[in-house]
DNA sequence: CTGAAAGCGCTTACAG
DNA sequence: CTGAAAGCGCTTACAG
């Protein structure tokens, strides 16, 4: 008595009602008598029936799907970014599922077409853009998306005049918290170690927070204590060695990422500097490794779950034409052993 | 002159042809004169037209989408699994895109319904199952999938009588290669350190390869050299400490995963054992960290790209009703410094 | 509360 | 090489 690919008409025939009533019942319309509804649902379950999404989508002009465009640098050494993005991805899928949306995944290259196509082809109702660190370069493409009336939201900072919705981490605040903590435990000569490339707005913001904390404490930022290091253990290690051999006095390091911090810690230890006795170290990201290194790394944590919810609620809001506002969430300082506060 | 949401009819009107011809032209049908085709395509591009996937899917009963069901243990400490699965995921999306398929992502819990729904609702043409390490428990659900004529493929070992297609890594072969290498460089008392839970068929297979290599060398596996350790640095460290204090003689460790190997290396070093002079260590996975620890870890690498291609070609083969065969791919031994071969 | 009917935007036999 | 027409399986105004 099984039907191969049952349709709502098959259910209707068995239930002795019209196909329209089946459709209503399955969508829990109060127009259908509760009793009838339940009977129809039971039959649907029995026949293993599920609404054909193509047909429903064609009718309603919706897909109940969000396309996640993950910009992937294909740079495997940058484990940090991938780990956090992966965690965001994971939480986005969960948040979206809670709101009844599926997630379509797409990995983009820098030079890819920007898949306005996803929405135009009704494969997705909106887009989430992840990992596009370099906003300037994309300004034009974002404008094209906006121009095509595409719904989209971006993981990242609030950029003035940037089209679309965005949600991100308040990196400035994170940098401030980290630096403030170091000042609070009595450190005076605090090094900032991070990327100074124009393509790293996150690091810029973290540095800005560092500067604000110093200023508040009446300390003039010293350019000799700003060390350039891209996001890798190797770069952190190199920067720390150069710093030591330069002869600068310092008693703390605020690193733009955990990887940089961990590299710096290793170099310092190898060269006989004690952590946290001689030098306090604070990182940024709270990657899994941070808790395992010795001493355990004090760091700034971004809440991936909250980030994912912000993005999903943003895009769903846009899709359902509710008012949404671009926001930054405050990160949280996780105090461990590497700064000596405990 | 822009249309808000152009349809094939809009294109047809502008091109002065029928809607059917537009449909044919856009699918590159040789039935349409090349010249006409090009003209139609140009107009489509100009109007930013993309075929409505819901309508096309409804007509053809296809979605050109693969659902990726990622079984997620929600166990964050198990970084290994997640990293490799993430890499698989990444490559799956790329491979699928090359074959014209989108990827829908779904994170499953152990007790979730198994989303026969994905295919029944025409959201996906087939499923890829990732991270379902424990086949026995799922046997029944896999049978239900098969019974519903669902197309699916599983990342994992060849399991006798398991329904559906599968693609995986030849863990036995990997265990053999690792152990054989240790024997080749003169090690005699080789410890196996890994999970002995029945839920870790991968570790079982790796152990089986270890046993085969020993047997081939005329060595009787010694149960006292089989140490139980789940996949974490902590467990590797603990196991190594216990091993040392047990007084057993050993000159090499083959660890079921890199994390275990790294934990063991740390414990050994802390207790004054030199690596690789006193003890050779080999891991499994080649996680990014493996190359960075000191000494750099010799390990067995699974090729995520090849794995992803195997899975995608498998599922697309099933969807398009081509013959497919379940396969295992051989992993590759990566020789670094931790075993002293160089 | 329920049904008959229209129509979403395609693809593809069928006819020429 | 091209067009007219049917129909995929739904949702929802309209009528009762």
Question: Do A283 and A137 share a structural domain?
Answer: no
**Do B121 and B30 fall into the same domain?**
no
Residue A143 is assigned to a structural domain of this protein: yes
B104 pLDDT above the threshold of 50: yes
CA dist A238 and A255 (Å) reads 13
How many angstroms separate the CA of B36 from the C1' of D1?
10
Q: Is the CB of A90 less than 8 angstroms away from the CB of B102?
A: no
Residue B163, pLDDT score: 82
> What percent of chain A stands above pLDDT 70?
91
pLDDT of A49: 92
Q: Quick one: A131 and A205 in the same domain?
A: no
Residues B163 and B188 in one domain: no
Q: What is the pTM of this model?
A: 0.86
Question: How do residues B76-85 score in pLDDT, each as one tens digit?
Answer: 444 444 677 8
Helix, strand, coil: what percent of chain A each, to 5? 45, 15, 40
Residue B160: its pLDDT value, please?
79
CA B32 to C1' D6 (Å) is 21
The percent of chain B in helix, strand and coil, each rounded to the nearest 5, is 45, 15, 40
Rounded CA separation B118/B229 (Å): 37
Residues B243, B140, single domain; the answer is: no
Residue A2, domain member (yes or no)? no
Instruction: Pick A120's closest partner by Cβ from B48, B82, B97.
Output: B48
d(CA A233, CA B146): 47
Within this chain, do residues A79 and A129 fall inside the same structural domain, yes or no? yes
- For residue A117, which residues of chain B lie inside 8 Å, CB to CB? 50
Nearest to A93 among B49, B106, B122 (CB): B106
pLDDT confidence of residue B233: 86
Q: Which of A267, A283, A302 is the last residue of a domain?
A: A302
Q: Is residue B21 part of a domain?
A: yes
| A101 lies in the same domain as A202 | no
Give the per-residue pLDDT at B132: 64
In a domain, A242, yes or no: yes
Q: Which chain B residue is nearest to residue A233, measuring alpha carbons?
A: B292
- What would the 3-class secondary structure string for B251-301 be? CEEEECCHHHHHHHHHHHHHCCCCCCCCCEEECCECCHHHHCCCCCCEEEE
Count of structural domains within chain B: 3
pLDDT at site A188: 93
Q: Do A177 and A277 belong to one domain?
A: yes
Task: Say if residue B225 is in the same domain as residue B250.
Answer: yes
Q: For residue B58, is it within any domain?
A: no
**From the alpha carbon of B29, which nucleotide's C1' atom is closest?**
D1
Pick the residue from chain A with its C-alpha nearest to B96. A106
Residue B96 predicted with pLDDT over 70: yes
Using CA atoms, how far residue B310 sits from B146, B258, B305, B325, in Å, is 20, 24, 9, 10
B54-75 mean pLDDT: 86
Of B54, B72, B289, Cβ closest to residue A57:
B54
CA distances from A342 to A119, A127, A154, A283, A336 (A): 52, 44, 38, 17, 8
Partner residue facing A54 (CB), from B72, B90, B122? B122
pLDDT less than 70: residues of chain A: 1-3, 72-82, 109-114, 132-137, 197-199, 341-342
Q: What range defines the domain where residue A266 resides? A: 171-302
Kindly determine whether residue A50 and residue B233, on different chains, have CB atoms separated by under 8 Å: no
Answer whether A110's CB lies under 8 Å from A51's CB: no
pLDDT for the residue A267: 93
> Do A297 and A175 reside in the same domain of the chain?
yes
Q: Is residue B334 part of a domain?
A: no
Instruction: Collect all residues with Cβ–Cβ distance below 8 Å to A48 and sequence separation of at least 6.
Output: A2, A6, B116, B120, B148
Token representation of residue B123: 């959201």
How far lies B210's CA from each of A19, B106, B253, B316, in Å?
62, 36, 11, 35
Residue pair B340/B280 in contact (Cβ under 8 Å)? The answer is yes
As a rounded value in angstroms, the CA-to-C1' distance for B311 and C13 is 35
Q: Are residues A210 and A269 in the same domain?
A: yes
User: B163 to chain A, minimum CA–CA distance in Å?
Assistant: 19
Confidence of residue B134 (pLDDT cuts 50, 70, 90): low
- Beta-strand (E) ranges in B37-164? 65-71, 102-108, 126-130, 152-155
Contact A122 B63 (CB under 8 A): no
B123·A117 Cβ contact <8 A: no
Distance (Å) from the C-alpha of residue B40 to the closest C-alpha of chain A? 17
Q: How far is B45 from chain A (nearest CA, A)?
A: 11
Report the CATH number that the domain containing residue A202 is assigned in CATH: 3.40.50.2300
Report how far apart the first and last C-alpha atoms of chain A are (Å, whole number): 70
Q: What is the pLDDT of residue B79?
A: 47
Q: How far is the CA of B9 from the C1' of C10 (A)?
A: 10
Q: What is the CATH number of the domain that holds B14?
A: 1.10.260.40
Residue with tokens 């036995």: B172
Is A289 within a domain?
A: yes
Confidence of residue B199 (pLDDT cuts 50, 70, 90): low
Is there a domain that residue B271 lies in?
yes
Q: Do B318 and B278 belong to one domain? A: no
Q: What is the pLDDT of residues B296-310, one digit of tens each?
A: 999 999 998 999 999
């Amino acid at each position: 008595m099984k039907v191969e690919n049952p349709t709502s008409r098959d259910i209707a025939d068995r239930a002795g009602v019209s196909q329209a009533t089946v459709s209503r019942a399955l969508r829990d319309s109060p127009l259908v008598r509760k009793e009838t509804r339940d009977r129809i649902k039971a039959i649907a379950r029995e026949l293993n029936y599920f609404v054909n999404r193509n047909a429903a989508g064609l009718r309603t002009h919706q897909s109940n799907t969000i396309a996640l465009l993950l910009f992937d640098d294909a740079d495997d050494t940058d484990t940090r970014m991938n780990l956090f993005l992966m965690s965001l991805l994971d939480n986005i899928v969960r948040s979206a599922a809670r709101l009844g949306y599926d997630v379509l995944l797409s990995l983009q290259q820098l030079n890819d077409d920007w898949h306005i196509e996803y929405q135009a082809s009704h494969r997705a109702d909106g887009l989430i853009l992840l990992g596009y660190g370099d906003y300037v370069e994309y300004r034009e493409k974002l404008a094209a998306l906006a121009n095509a009336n595409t719904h989209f939201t971006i993981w990242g900072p609030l950029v003035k005049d940037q089209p679309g919705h965005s949600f991100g981490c308040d990196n400035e605040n994170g940098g401030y918290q980290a630096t403030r903590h170091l000042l609070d435990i009595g450190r005076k000569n605090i090094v900032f170690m991070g990327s100074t490339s124009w393509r790293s707005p996150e690091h810029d913001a973290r540095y800005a927070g560092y500067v604000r904390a110093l200023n508040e404490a009446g300390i003039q930022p010293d350019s000799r204590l700003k060390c350039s290091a891209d996001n890798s253990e190797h770069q952190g290690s190199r920067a720390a060695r150069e710093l030591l051999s330069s002869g600068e006095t310092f008693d703390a390091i605020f690193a733009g990422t955990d990887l940089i911090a961990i590299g710096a810690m290793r170099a310092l230890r190898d060269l006989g500097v004690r952590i946290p006795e001689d030098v306090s170290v604070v990182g940024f990201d709270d990657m899994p490794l941070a808790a395992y290194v010795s001493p355990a790394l004090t760091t700034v944590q971004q809440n991936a779950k909250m980030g994912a919810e912000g993005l999903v609620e943003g895009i769903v809001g846009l899709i359902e034409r509710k008012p949404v506002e671009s926001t930054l969430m405050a990160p949280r300082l996780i105090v461990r052993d590497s700064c000596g506060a405990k």
